[in-house]
Structure 1
């Protein structure tokens, strides 16, 4: 998985057809998705319950690009190895999910995956300078985690800009998760984000049997960013 800072769209399968996940991954990749984003929720750290390692392992053969696994769970450490074995290219953990985030990031890299660090909307960036040498991706939550389809929290744009400056020339992706649309994508891209997670904004209006709207939706986001 080589690093580059070109804009990437990572559709969240939370917005896909649950009965056809494999086909949905193939369809959205065929329409131009750069990564596939898998939202793992435990009903404890966030108020929703979604997928586990077995689902990720089942999806892996259907994903040709990057499997980007976002763990909205606590505790995190006991499950890292299972998600890595399931084929996750990137495993992202929340700074709020436990007291030892440095150890969690070490464990993710030790399991052979790229390490991501996620920050909730109410969380500052004070911890990030101490973790920059441990991360491959920083995920800024622009909604409160737990559900798709929420509205973008505009106050997070300043956080994105501050993190971009902090990252400098390090090979660290800056990801946005939540409320990404053609209207909000230019705001975060201008601030320095290079990976946009989008759920309903990508999957709206399409299906496995009619995937063309997926491509049109992603082109609309790219075109908006390009100006």
Structure 2
């Protein structure tokens, strides 16, 4: 049986959703974040040296990195499904793009935005807060906000007229892109109706709802 080590409010939702879509039997070990750091507890290092989540243990094979886990599970258990287009199909290059774009380009911007928010709200000496705010505001204005706008408007355009990223059925591309787009909807004020509708479709998907029943509701800040 597969064991999923799922840190609360993390990329582990990708894996739980995929496991439900594949109809695989699995055990979910839900792990609370450290109250002070919001990071994974050190106990996860007993499972994998990096101590990160998600992790899976597939009958003794321990694998980290959500993108690697998605590729592994689909390749091993989902070859005959719509989750992965044929390598000879016209959709395959686009599938690869979204699979790697999610963590390679979009998530770093969203993580940076979250880190800046933590810097701006953390306790610090009163004289340091204006300095920290000036630095984060400068980076937001000159780099972060323009880049987020560029990338999210790109995704918004790609979703125009599409139910899912590759067409009419859920694929690994949606498994990877769902989490960053859920974060984007909760953390930006941009007008993104296609992305907002896409996120609602994810959250209404029966397999996604089963995943949330197993590991808890996703509530991104």
Q: Normalization by structure 1: what TM-score?
A: 0.30
Q: Normalization by structure 2: what TM-score?
A: 0.30
More helix by share: 2
More strand by share: 1
Higher RCO, 1 vs 2 (CA within 8 Å, ≥6 residues apart): 2
Larger Cα Rg: Structure 1 or Structure 2? 2
